[in-house]
Amino acid sequence: MSRTLASVAALAALAAAVSMMAACGSKAPKELRDGTEIVASRCARCHDTGRIASANYDRDGWTEVVSRMIGRGADLTDNEAMLLIDFLTSGGGKSL
């Protein structure tokens, strides 16, 4: 009986620890909703913004580039990737 009580206590402690970790910021990064923010916080981790500004791709080209960067570890949600491609295709990257 004392083993059962110890097991229940250990499970309760584990559940409390997991709950505290979740409450203390173990959340996924906030999804960004603006092309400029995405470039600044995700693309500029590895690339100089001048390189992005000087690139001359159409929608298909930017789609290929963004897909390749995701394959190399860029941390983008599907929505962020779509927003980024829209931003870059519309010439937003030229103002960086």
Tell me the whole-structure pTM to 2 decimals: 0.66
User: What was the pLDDT predicted at 94?
Assistant: 81
Q: Which amino acid is at 60?
A: D
- Sign of the torsion angle spanned by Cα atoms 34, 27, 66, 69: positive
In tens digits, the chain (96 residues) has pLDDT values of 566 655 545 545 444 444 444 444 434 456 667 899 999 999 999 999 999 999 999 999 999 999 999 999 999 999 999 999 999 999 888 877
Token look-up 């960086």 returns 96
